[in-house]
Amino acid sequence: MPRTLLCLLFAVAAFSLVSCSQPAKEPCRNSEPVCRPLPSPPASMGRALYRRARKCGLPYSALIRAMRYLNAHCEEFANRRFLTIIDYTQPSTSKRLFLIDLCSCDIATLLVSHGKNSGELYATRFSNREDSLESPCGFFMTGPEYYGPHGASMVLYGLQKGVNDNSLSRKIVMHGAYYVSRDAIALNRRLHGVARLGLSEGCPAIPMQEAEPVIDRIKDGSLLYMYAGSAGR
């Protein structure tokens, strides 16, 4: 597909996302979109987002799938400013969580864990089953923030039947964890001979010091996409 057409697709999709004015449906608590309508379609938005995604290592296929889903289901999301993509095709030593501000096209990257039965360095197995200890994959809506055993945490609602719709009952949430850090990678190298993050019970755990500010931005109705390449959806 020609690059000019790709840029146009991103620009149209991004504009329709931020200008959608329909209220969100349950389970979102907040009915007001975070990002207000723009006065005119930003012609440079698609190009800027594409360039920054490529620069920080976010696969085009993951980005375009997430943008298309968000564009098609715009009215269901209260928080339309932020889009989060976890690229589980990358090793856990990479900053494979991409937090995208769709108003500014800024992209922040973070470390993120996967489930202990999904693999060690790479996540290669994904599940919707109870007690599988594997990460789910697919599209999620972020829910409310709460404070639990891991401090600031956030509920996740799986949006795909048979793929991740058991995530709520499985208690798959985003939370902070001390085993998600560069120190944890070095420790696992010494103890297990594999430089990797610690492993969760399926939750996408992020660095403890980043949990509260990240959750505060993406909670209450934004799209989170756990991308698994050919291993998932």
Tens-digit pLDDT profile for residues 196-214: 999 999 999 999 999 999 9
> What is the pTM for the complete model shown?
0.85
Domain ranges of the chain: 3-231
Superfamily of chain region 3-231: L,D-transpeptidase catalytic domain-like (2.40.440.10)
Half-sphere exposure of 90 (CA within 13 A, CB side): 23
User: What is the model's pLDDT at position 37?
Assistant: 39
State mean pLDDT over 123-143.
97
What SS3 class is residue 41? Answer: coil
Burial of 124 from C-beta contacts in 10 A (0-12 / 13-18 / 19+): middle
User: What is the model's pLDDT at position 44?
Assistant: 59
Q: Are 100 and 82 in contact (CB under 8 A)?
A: yes
Torsions phi, psi for 156 (to 5 deg): -125, 135
Per the listing, tokens 């291993």 go with: 231
